[in-house]
């Protein structure tokens, strides 16, 4: 099975290096050739153009800056009968559109739930959806990179999970930034100790959220919003990151609606 890799940024380079260490020898191409030449010195084959790189490939892996770049790079390639794995972050609709634009190719989409240094380590996960046969045929090299979870034949499903998981992460990070601003503004707090406590607290509350605790009503929680706003004011900390969520809680409380995710769904 010959693998070609297009796009040797931070993520692409980490993936190719992990494969090289595991004994795979992919063909690589990058817009800036120096990155491909560096990997050639470690055992990869550097191709002068993307078209030359994909010629002999069974599997073409793409990991570029964004979806527009993927569309441009793939537009010039003959992908007939090839497996194509797109690891570039995209929307579910964009992932499906690539499959529709290249009907002769067999598309698998991937959502990388890891940073480059995590590739090849136990914490890394890559989510896949799309062509099952492409996933099965290349399961061995894919499992070298990360735990490989196949989510079904809709090419947009891995992107849905990817973006939804990242959305949860960023929402969480907003709360973490606010919490850290509060204790830093106060001063004299051991930030390492506080950080550990914050992680344990969030983990415990995630479990509570899954159990749908009937005693933690939105009405009760919304009644505490002035206390959060007051504490932030006392400390001179902006509540801007929490304001939209407080607004949603107030709306839920006014409507007697505990399902806040339901309130966000339009139409
Ligand atoms: P980088 O910015 O490090 O690399 C971008 C890549 O895209 C480079 O190979 C760059 O080539 C190429 N590129 C940019 N513009 C063009 C263009 N116009 N034509 C051809 N090639 C182009 O990004 P990453 O490697 O970090 O990320 C790649 C993908 O992986 C993204 O979708 C990202 O969301 C995803 N990802 C990244 C993670 C991370 O932590 N880094 C985590 C999870 C997913 P050149 O070298 O010539 O500039």
12-68: pLDDT as tens digits: 999 999 999 999 999 999 999 999 999 999 999 999 999 999 998 999 999 999 999
Same domain, 11 and 87: yes
Cα distance between residue 40 and residue 246, in whole Å: 53
CATH code for position 211: 1.10.1040.10
Residue 35 lies inside a defined structural domain of this protein: yes
Provide the ipTM.
0.99
Cα distance between residue 210 and residue 220, in whole Å: 18
| pLDDT one-digit tens code per residue, 168-181 | 999 999 999 999 99
Q: Helix H segments across the chain? A: 10-21, 33-40, 50-54, 67-75, 92-101, 132-137, 139-145, 157-186, 191-211, 218-222, 225-235, 243-255, 260-264
Give residue 212's pLDDT. Answer: 66
Q: What is the mean pLDDT of residues 108-131?
A: 98
Give residue 65's pLDDT. Answer: 98
Q: How far apart are the first and last CA of the chain?
A: 46
Same domain, 29 and 136: yes
| Probe residue for ligand 1, chosen from 4, 5, 6, 11 as the CB with the greatest number of ligand atoms within 8 Å | 11
Q: What is the mean pLDDT of residues 236-241?
A: 98
Q: Are 186 and 234 within 8 A, CB to CB?
A: no
Exposed/middle/buried for residue 157 (C-beta within 10 Å: 0-12, 13-18, 19+):
buried
CATH code for position 119: 3.40.50.720
- Please say if the pLDDT value at position 210 is more than 70: no
Q: Helix H segments across 187-242? A: 191-211, 218-222, 225-235
Same domain, 37 and 146: yes
Q: Whose CA is nearest to atom 17 of ligand 1?
A: 69
Same domain, 105 and 178: no
Q: Whose CA is nearest to atom 38 of ligand 1?
A: 115
Q: Determine the length of the chain.
A: 267
Give residue 77's pLDDT. Answer: 96
Q: What confidence tier does 207 reach under pLDDT thresholds 50, 70, 90? A: confident
Spacing, Cα 241 to ligand 1 middle (Å): 28
Which of 122, 152, 182 is at the close of a domain? 152
Q: Which residues make Cβ contacts (< 8 Å) with residue 185, sequence separation at least 6? A: 235, 236, 237
| Probe residue for ligand 1, chosen from 4, 5, 9, 28 as the CB with the greatest number of ligand atoms within 8 Å | 9
Q: What percent of the chain has pLDDT over 70?
A: 98
Q: What tokens were used for 21?
A: 């260490």
Spacing, Cα 159 to ligand 1 middle (Å): 17
Q: Whose CA is nearest to atom 4 of ligand 1?
A: 9
Q: Which residue, 71, 69, 27, is CA-closest to 49?
A: 27
Q: What confidence tier does 211 reach under pLDDT thresholds 50, 70, 90? A: low
């Amino acid at each position: 099975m010959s693998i070609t890799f297009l796009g040797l940024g931070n993520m692409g380079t980490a993936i190719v290096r992990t494969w090289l260490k595991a004994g795979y020898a992919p063909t690589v191409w990058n817009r800036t050739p120096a990155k491909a030449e560096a990997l050639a010195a470690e055992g990869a084959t550097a191709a002068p153009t993307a078209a030359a790189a994909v010629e002999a490939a069974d599997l073409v892996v793409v990991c570029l800056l964004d979806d527009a770049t993927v569309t441009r790079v793939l537009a010039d390639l003959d992908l007939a009968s090839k497996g194509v794995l797109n690891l570039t972050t995209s929307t579910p609709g964009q992932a499906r559109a690539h499959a529709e634009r290249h009907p002769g190719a067999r598309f698998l989409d991937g959502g990388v739930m890891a940073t480059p240094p995590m590739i090849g380590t136990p914490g890394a996960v890559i989510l896949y959806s799309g062509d099952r046969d492409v996933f099965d045929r290349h399961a061995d090299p894919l499992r070298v990179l990360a735990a490989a979870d196949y989510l079904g034949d809709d090419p947009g499903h891995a992107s849905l999970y990817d973006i939804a998981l990242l959305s949860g992460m960023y929402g969480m990070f907003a709360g973490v930034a606010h919490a850290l601003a509060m204790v830093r503004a106060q001063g004299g707090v051991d930030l390492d100790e506080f950080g550990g406590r914050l992680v344990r607290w969030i983990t415990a509350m995630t479990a509570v959220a899954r159990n749908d605790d009937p005693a933690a009503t939105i009405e009760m929680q919304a009644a505490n919003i002035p206390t959060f706003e007051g504490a932030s004011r006392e400390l001179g900390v902006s509540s801007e990151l929490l304001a939209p969520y407080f607004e949603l809680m107030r709306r839920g409380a006014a409507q007697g609606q505990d399902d806040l995710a339901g309130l966000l769904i339009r139409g």
